[in-house]
Structure 1
C-alpha cells in the first residue's frame, strides 16, 4: 500500500499565523496532521469535503507538537484517535507509547524529531511519488535557518539532517507550502 497526501490548507507566519493542515489516506486509515489555527474552519472542512472525507471519517489526528497553532481545531474530528510524542488518546483512554517508529498504517509512521520543542514528531508517509514528511522542522521552504522559538537548536539541526538523510520526495512544513528538498534546504 501507499499513502496519498492532500494539503488541506497551507499555513503562514506573520502578522497572522496558520498551521499547514494535511490529510493522509492509506486504505481505511484517514489521518489529519496538525489541525491548528486557520482564519476560518471552512479552510479545513471545505477541502476535506472536496477530498470526499467527512470529519467523522477521520480515524487519526497527529499533533507535531502541542502549540495551539497546531492543535486548536482537533475537536472537529469526533471519531479520531489522537497522537502526540508519548501517547494515543481515544475517548477516555490514554495509551502510553513512544511515537518514534509507531505505525498508524502500513505506509504511515511517526518519528521523533525534537528541536522546535523537545516533544516534536514528524509524520512519514510512503506515497507513490516517494517519502513525504510532514514536520515542523521547517516553517517553510526557506526555513528559517535558525528557528527563533526552538527550545534546542542543536537538536533541531540534528533532526533536520536525519530527515534529509531519508531523501524525502516532499516536505510539508508547519507553516508553508509543500516543497521538494534541495541542497539549499536548511539543515
Structure 2
C-alpha cells in the first residue's frame, strides 16, 4: 500500500535549498513506492499567527496535513535556529492535523551546521500537536554542492543520497506501524503536559 507522505520545505525564501532537498526526497519516496507531495513555505507562506481573518492558505495546508500519513520536516539553519516560517506553521498546527504521525526531521545548512534547528524542533514543536519525530534524522551539509543532478557529483553527494534513502525507508516503516493510531486515542488532556 502506498503511504501518503507530505514534505514541508521550511524556508520562507522562494527557490530555496530546502525546497530543492524536499523535491529530491519526494522523488526518492516515489521511487520507494510512496505518494509524496511537497508543501513549500517559500511558495505558499502563512501569515504570522494569529491571523486577523480566516486564512485560506492555512485551511489548504491543514487539509494536506490531515490527509498525510507521515511527514518530512525540512528546516534550514538560520543563525543556529529553525526557520521562522516553519515555527509559525507549528503554531498553527494542532492535534487534528498532526497527532501521532511520524515525522523525519531534515536539517539543511550551507556550511557544516544543521543540527541545532533539529534539536530546537524536537524540544518545542511537538507538545500540543503531538507529532512523533522519529529517532532518525538527516542533515544535509554543504547543501549547495549536493543533490543537484540525477547522478551524484562526488563521494559526499553519494553518501548523503544513501543516508537519505535509508532514513526515508525507516520513516515508511514508522508510518506503517503508527497507521491509524490517532483515531484510537481518546483525547483527555489538551495541552500535552
Which structure has the highest helix share of the two? 2
Which structure has the highest strand share of the two? 1
User: Which is higher, the Rg of structure 1 or of structure 2?
Assistant: 2
TM-score (norm 2): 0.32
Query: Relative contact order (alpha carbons < 8 A, sep ≥ 6): 1 or 2 greater?
Result: 2
